[in-house]
A and B are shown apart, each in its own frame.
Chain A
Amino acid sequence: MRSKSLIAILMSFSLAACAGGGGGFGGYSLVQPKARAVANGKMTVTPPRPWNRVPRSYYDIAEEENWTLNGPILDSIGFIAALKDGKAIVRQRRKEDRQVPVFRSNMTPPEIVSMIESLYRIRGGAAEFAMTGLKPATFLGRQGYQLDYDYLDQNEIKRRGRSYGAVIHGRLYLMLLDATRMHYFEHALPDFETMARGAVLRS
């Protein structure tokens, strides 16, 4: 989930640079504009134009993958596929004072929203997270949700997000677009919408 603060992202990359490797975590790779399996291969998505795959970070879970157009500070799309009951959407220690709630198969959409909001408030340092819309929607051909939200990040930059998701056979699948409210959200939205509508489950 690309909800880390500017500082955290910059520090992690600058530390990588310090360690002598320009792309310490493996670097960004090109995503071609054709059908592609994402997030552990459990979902297929077709980007309408080339995107960049973000190198994996320590906080990523196995079931996730992240892409960006202009750099994750400005925009990012996160994919989560086949997340099991009882697992969290972010890597965290068991004894953390503040914990992002884990996913449960019997979660209602408002509870999934609450889990995403907690992720932002606890790990993203978001202040003033506001859900601006939640409605039923189809995702991967199943009944799911569309969530829209606005928030302020740790650098006081106004940001916006949209997520489509569904629980299928007890597992969580979702896509999430997170970008600056100025320019970058609207800029990435058409691609995000196309990809969400065309996303397909892989068995």
Chain B
Amino acid sequence: MSLEISRRALLAGGGCLCCAGLTGMAQARIAPSAMTPLIGPGYKPLETDEKGLWSQYERIEQDIAGSNLLIKDPKLVAYLGGLAGRVGGPAARDLRVYLAHIPEFNAFMAPTGFMVVFSGLLTRMRNEAQLAGVIAHEAGHFLRKHQIRAWRDVRRKTDAFTMLGMGLGGLSAAGGGFAGIGDLYQLAQFGTIFSLAQYGRDLEKEADATGLRLISEAGYSPIEMSNTWSQLIAEIEASAAMRKKRPFRGTSLLASHPAPADRMADLRASAVEIQASGRSYDAGRDRYLSIIAPHKAMLLDDQVKLNDPGASLYIIQNLAKDGWSGTLRYYEAEIWRLKGKGKGADEARAVQGYAAAVQMPDAPAEAWRAHGYSLLKSGQAEPGKRALARYLAMKPAASDAAMVRYSMAQ
């Protein structure tokens, strides 16, 4: 499925946490201070092949702007644009950010200066500094002209492949190589050359270092970039552990992707150095949480309904570090219900979870519905009907009101 070509899938083959940074990778670390932007404000391409890419992506941007999959909430869009403005460096005024309603941890930067952020990113970020770090990393690719460098590199490599007679199958599967495709799912799959983690070791390190520089100059806590990675690694490991398997490995795309543990170590070391300057930094947690609050239920809904319990539990437990809420309790219970196959310890945890959710003042209406049905299932008719009535009171125009009333009447 095309959605699987995402950062987590690309990352997952990168090795274990325990191998982190003990092998003297520090020598290969790129200093953020060395990362000067290679383009200025209002940049336009001069070389033929870059012009070709630019022209394609201008049309792609038109199509993306008209996509059915965009989240267009004005406050959210303005917020993301504002972040890009703060950490975009010389391109701050040129960058455009689109938010796609796709529950994946991914973002990509087009060579023309527009960025698509997937809603799955917002589900996972714990504070504004983390989100700014992702945006700054992507801006780094743009400011250091990585896209055209990566394209030329891939082109050189594929010529080499042909001489060896290999690799044609995989490449032709990537849509014949035309980048002229405008919808977001396709771009996520076939446009991975510009996706979050597809540039090769050196370019990724450059983008990391550039990103660090950009966010620290904007006053964001630099350690948060490495925290983003450690969270993602932990999520992937949790997902695999739940399915009792090793973290997903082995797409050919991993070949050019450097070990995430290395990058995490480099980011951490650089952040420590930067923070040693004594300046005070902010993670922007409260601001981020209040902007996301109205969308939290939708974001969790999208994630939980993918039924990847290891990943979803990790995410919710991570978010709960800022405090449990009715919404978080409800979605945690949903994870157990979807996993549990209707019986056993998992189902019992779901039942307990709904009961816990409705204790909280912000319990969503759906928590009352789920609680009501689990009471009915266990033979507690009267409390069950009361809970369902509460659901209907909270959501009189619910699309399943007729079914709920019917269940109450049994």
Interface size grouping (class) on chain B: 35 or more
A114-B399 CB under 8 A given contacts A95-B243, A125-B3, A154-B185 = no
A5 in the interface (beta carbon within 8 A): yes
Q: How far is B184's CA from A127's CA once the two chains are assembled, in angstroms? A: 11
Q: Which residues of A contact B186 (CB under 8 A)?
A: 7
Contact assessment for A108 and B3 in the assembled complex, using a CB-CB cutoff below 8 Å: no
Contact assessment for A101 and B2 in the assembled complex, using a CB-CB cutoff below 8 Å: no
Q: How far is B400's CA from A7's CA once the two chains are assembled, in angstroms? A: 33
Chain B 186-202 residues near chain A, CB threshold 8 A: 186
B251 in the interface (beta carbon within 8 A): no
A40 in the interface (beta carbon within 8 A): no
Contact assessment for A95 and B338 in the assembled complex, using a CB-CB cutoff below 8 Å: no
B305 in the interface (beta carbon within 8 A): yes
Map CB proximity to B onto A90-113 as digits: 1 under 8 Å, 0 otherwise. Answer: 000001111111101011111101
B60 to chain A, nearest CB (A): 13
Q: Which residues of A contact B376 (CB under 8 A)?
A: 108
Q: Which residues of A contact B407 (CB under 8 A)?
A: 108-109
Contact assessment for B305 and A117 in the assembled complex, using a CB-CB cutoff below 8 Å: yes
Q: Which residues of B contact A104 (CB under 8 A)?
A: 341-343
Q: How far is B186's CA from A145's CA once the two chains are assembled, in angstroms? A: 35
A152 in the interface (beta carbon within 8 A): yes
Contact assessment for A95 and B245 in the assembled complex, using a CB-CB cutoff below 8 Å: yes
B108 in the interface (beta carbon within 8 A): no
Binds A, one of B24-32, B90-98, B306-314: B306-314
Contact assessment for B68 and A114 in the assembled complex, using a CB-CB cutoff below 8 Å: no
A4 to chain B, nearest CB (A): 10
Q: Which residues of B contact A117 (CB under 8 A)?
A: 305
Q: Which residues of A contact B3 (CB under 8 A)?
A: 125
Q: Which residues of A contact B343 (CB under 8 A)?
A: 104
Contact assessment for A136 and B338 in the assembled complex, using a CB-CB cutoff below 8 Å: no
A135 in the interface (beta carbon within 8 A): yes
The closest CB in chain B to the CB of A109 belongs to B403
Map CB proximity to A onto B370-408 as digits: 1 under 8 Å, 0 otherwise. Answer: 000100110000000000000000000001101100110
Contact residues of B with A, CB < 8 Å? 1-3, 67-69, 101-102, 183-186, 239-240, 243-245, 248, 302, 305-308, 310-311, 337-338, 341-343, 369, 373, 376-377, 399-400, 402-403, 406-407
Would you list 20 pairs from A and B whose C-beta atoms are within 8 A, ordered by A residue?
A5-B1, A86-B341, A97-B239, A97-B243, A97-B248, A104-B342, A108-B373, A108-B376, A108-B407, A109-B407, A121-B302, A122-B1, A125-B3, A128-B101, A134-B399, A134-B403, A136-B403, A155-B183, A156-B68, A156-B184
Contact residues of A with B, CB < 8 Å? 5, 7-8, 86, 95-102, 104, 106-111, 113-114, 117-118, 121-123, 125, 127-128, 131-136, 145, 148, 152, 154-156, 158
